[in-house]
Chain A
Amino acid sequence: MNKLLLKNFHLIDPSENLNNISDLLIEDGIIKEISPSIDSADVNTIDGNKNLLIPGLIDFHVHYRDPGETYKEDIKTGSRASSKGGFTTVIMMSNTNPTMDNLNSIIDQKNNIDQNSQIRILQTSSVTIGRKGKELVDIDLLSKNGVVSFSDDGDVISDPKILTKALKLANKNNRTIFEHCEEHELVKDGSINDGSVSVRLGLKARPKEAEIRCVTRDIEIAKKNDLWIYLQHISCKESVELIRQAKTQGVKITAEVTPHHLFMNEFWTYGKKGNVPSWIDLNSYDTNTRVNPPLRSDVDRISLLEGVKDGTIDIIATDHAPHSNGDKLDTFDSAPAGINGAETALITLLELVNRNELEIEKIISTMCNNPGEILKNILNLNIGKIKKGYRADLVVIDNNSNSEINEEFFISKSINSPLIGSTMKGKIIMTIFDGKLLFEDKE
């Protein structure tokens, strides 16, 4: 029997009312016992030194670029980067090349995952063939073959009839559609939030109206047909308000936000870590801040945090979108959108805790408990909690150390992060997956 004893850790899991120093025994990858003092005789033991122990994080939104753009990232490097960031389970988006829209592609990708991933990687298929918004994939067949959700991420599903039909089929299979909420016509040539920064820098905007219209429409569809929908990377105040109101009416919505929308605002494009400069200089037009949906105003950022706080937003997911240095070496409007987030997500959120903008319990509910609950319903997986009988997926955090984010910090193939040059309070020192130590910070 394979045993591992974690001794003297500060366990936190709001779903289990855990917030105390305790020991935890793992047997064959499963949490066997949680108790103030467990006998350590003959057991491989790690002394926690009262560091925080939280459930392994679940990321509902990653782009590992595999197959098709493996110069940016691949399943091996992406999963390693995620494990360093505290993630033990992730859902890969379907916008690879070729698109994951048929069983053969899904099987090929699954083989690649089995050979190259150290963590639990779950797959999505696109909703429509080639993500073109016209013809539905075989949702029944793909659901029976491991696909956990369906998404045309990167693009909205413009046709409400197609979305409705897809939702019905997905819901029938206990699954849903992960919807990218930006109405295409309003964003097709824009690259930044519509506000003072777009006007000062002379950049065309992706206005938040594009998101508001789409969220409004999707809520209507879910409400009218009594269907469950998942709204990805919500970015503005109005969306939070619409979702909050819909939820009080019993509409079945799961809402997601990214750490970058919680941490940064549109001012970051000036290249001054959120400060507004007196003059534009060579660090401005920071292409690493280009992301869809764009970083919004601070008012929006604060209402997203409020949405997390009051439960309007259920999930924090990274939208980990690696791009090579070469890809981002371009003008702002030509550079591809996306932020490398797997390794920085948890520590940016811990920094928000340090700034009293977020509670650590909310990080755990949105990155462990809530996504775990959804996956329990889909796959009957016991993850996302520190609970007897659950998988021993765990993260150890040293809350007294800092994380310096520099170019060497990243083990992802790409380093496209506007956070380079920042220091965050808190450090991930261990990731345990299925009872095995997967990542350890040796410093």
Chain B
Amino acid sequence: MNHLTKHLLDIDHLSKDYIYDLLSDTKKIKNNQSPSKIIGKNVCALFYEDSTRTKLSFQKACSNLELNFHNLDLQKSSLNKGESFYNTIKTINSIGMDLFIIRHFSSGAAYFLAKNTNSSVINAGDGSHAHPTQTLSDLFTIYELGKRFEDLEVSIIGDVLYSRVARSNILGLLKMGSTINILGPKELTPSVIVEIYESLDRSYKNKIRFYEDFETPVLSSNFIMALRIQKERFSSNTMMNFDSYKWKIDMEKIKKFKKDVFVMHPGPVNEEIELSHELVHSNRSLISKQVENGVHVRQKIIERLLENE
């Protein structure tokens, strides 16, 4: 088995057909739980970064599948005793796990783990690089609304530079045929993004565009994905003045968009910075739906990877 079917490290290697198949399968289990075929397998959650919703979501998915969920609390473990990441991996590997779910502050950490273990690996967020289960949940949330991806225009707004959700969502949405608008503070939206993603596939040409403000094409988008400003990831050379942050969307601003526009956010939201409190809790917001769907999508992904073994 090659790494493409053994692990879920990002979206980039998945085909459009595979994603559609996964979304349609997820819809089935959401409506009707079928008995788990992978009961009793061992899953290890390796969270090097704080996480509430993602970890809980994975835990619930594992419990639905009747898996043994082992949580390594890295605040208390050997991380503090100076053990290297590699040695921690080798130790847990010897104990024996079927699947790792890893969140790590370093970009590429999930790949490093996958390279050094025999088990399957799901990337639950590596630094600023990727967060594929969030993307598949977001795609499912859109899919469930009965939308055709090819007809959609999605605006991704805010801290793209440090956002792993943005990177994976750009890849996922381009793959599904949607058009993407990128906008945010210039320090956090490097223009090279368009060039990087356009060059990956001929069909992505002109499908990802840059805007410096809420211009007319942006206002016609079907979905808004707001991103959290990730100050904790800023490099020492990131210069940014937050007093002039003009990208917040509130009830006033949303009126300028199409009537049926939806707002998404990977959470946790900095209310009144990226989105107003009122908008977060309005009928335009899909944020709770995203969290709910996350459990089902993660369950389906875990099932696929472990059935493949």
On whether A199 and B196 interact (CB within 8 A), knowing A190-B237, A330-B84, the answer reads: yes
Quick check: A202 and B130 within 8 Å, CB to CB?
yes
Is A43's beta carbon under 8 Å from chain B?
Answer: no
Cα A195 to Cα B191 with chains together (Å) = 10
Quick check: A196 and B196 within 8 Å, CB to CB?
yes
CB contacts (< 8 Å) of A282 on chain B: these are 3, 111, 114-115
Is A201's beta carbon under 8 Å from chain B?
Answer: yes
Selected from B3, B85, B199, B237, the residue in CB contact (under 8 A) with A185 is: B237
Interface hits, B120-141 → A, CB 8 Å: 126-130
Selected from A185, A202, A278, A284, the residue in CB contact (under 8 A) with B236 is: A185
Quick check: A186 and B237 within 8 Å, CB to CB?
yes
Is B95's beta carbon under 8 Å from chain A?
Answer: no
Quick check: B164 and A279 within 8 Å, CB to CB?
no
CB contacts (< 8 Å) of B192 on chain A: these are 195-196, 199
Selected from A187, A196, A203, A329, the residue in CB contact (under 8 A) with B107 is: A203
CB contacts (< 8 Å) of A281 on chain B: these are 3, 13, 111
Quick check: B128 and A202 within 8 Å, CB to CB?
yes
Is A93's beta carbon under 8 Å from chain B?
Answer: no
Is A276's beta carbon under 8 Å from chain B?
Answer: yes
Residue pairs across A and B with Cβ atoms less than 8 A apart, 10 shown, are: A185-B237, A196-B192, A203-B108, A205-B235, A205-B237, A278-B12, A279-B12, A280-B111, A285-B108, A331-B112
Cα A168 to Cα B246 with chains together (Å) = 52
Cα A205 to Cα B128 with chains together (Å) = 12
Is A204's beta carbon under 8 Å from chain B?
Answer: yes
Cα A285 to Cα B114 with chains together (Å) = 13
Interface hits, B158-209 → A, CB 8 Å: 161-162, 164, 167, 190, 192-193, 195-196, 199-201
CB contacts (< 8 Å) of B190 on chain A: these are 199
Selected from B12, B104, B161, the residue in CB contact (under 8 A) with A331 is: B104
Cα A45 to Cα B286 with chains together (Å) = 84
> In the assembled complex, how far is the CB of residue A182 from the closest CB belonging to chain B, in whole angstroms?
12
CB contacts (< 8 Å) of A203 on chain B: these are 107-108, 127-129
Quick check: A285 and B107 within 8 Å, CB to CB?
yes
Is A376's beta carbon under 8 Å from chain B?
Answer: no
The 8 A CB mask of A328-362 against B (1 = contact, 0 = none) is 01111110000000000000000000000000000
On whether A285 and B111 interact (CB within 8 A), knowing A279-B10, A334-B106, the answer reads: yes
Cα A332 to Cα B114 with chains together (Å) = 14
On whether A189 and B235 interact (CB within 8 A), knowing A201-B129, A281-B3, A331-B85, the answer reads: yes
- Closest residue of chain B to A279 (Cβ to Cβ) is B12
**Which bracket fits the contact residues of A?**
20 to 34
- Closest residue of chain A to B114 (Cβ to Cβ) is A282
> In the assembled complex, how far is the CB of residue B113 from the closest CB belonging to chain A, in whole angstroms?
9
Is B245's beta carbon under 8 Å from chain A?
Answer: no
Quick check: B107 and A201 within 8 Å, CB to CB?
yes
Given A207-B237, A331-B109, 19 more contacts at CB 8 Å?
Answer: A186-B237, A189-B235, A196-B196, A199-B192, A199-B193, A200-B167, A202-B129, A202-B164, A203-B108, A203-B129, A204-B235, A280-B9, A280-B10, A280-B130, A282-B114, A284-B108, A285-B111, A329-B86, A334-B106
CB contacts (< 8 Å) of B195 on chain A: these are 196
Most central of A196, A331, A332, A334 by chain B CB within 10 Å: A331
- Closest residue of chain A to B9 (Cβ to Cβ) is A280
Is A217's beta carbon under 8 Å from chain B?
Answer: no
- Closest residue of chain A to B85 (Cβ to Cβ) is A330
> In the assembled complex, how far is the CB of residue B240 from the closest CB belonging to chain A, in whole angstroms?
14
CB contacts (< 8 Å) of A200 on chain B: these are 167, 196
- Closest residue of chain A to B238 (Cβ to Cβ) is A204
CB contacts (< 8 Å) of A278 on chain B: these are 12, 200-201
CB contacts (< 8 Å) of B112 on chain A: these are 285, 330-331
Cα A199 to Cα B9 with chains together (Å) = 17
- Closest residue of chain B to A329 (Cβ to Cβ) is B86
Cα A278 to Cα B190 with chains together (Å) = 20
Quick check: B111 and A199 within 8 Å, CB to CB?
no
Is A188's beta carbon under 8 Å from chain B?
Answer: yes
- Closest residue of chain A to B89 (Cβ to Cβ) is A329
CB contacts (< 8 Å) of A202 on chain B: these are 107-108, 126-130, 162, 164, 167
- Closest residue of chain A to B121 (Cβ to Cβ) is A282
On whether A276 and B199 interact (CB within 8 A), knowing A199-B190, A331-B85, the answer reads: yes
CB contacts (< 8 Å) of A188 on chain B: these are 236
> In the assembled complex, how far is the CB of residue A206 from the closest CB belonging to chain B, in whole angstroms?
9
Quick check: A331 and B3 within 8 Å, CB to CB?
no
Cα A203 to Cα B106 with chains together (Å) = 8
Closest 4 A/B residue pairs (Cβ) = A202-B128, A202-B129, A285-B108, A279-B12
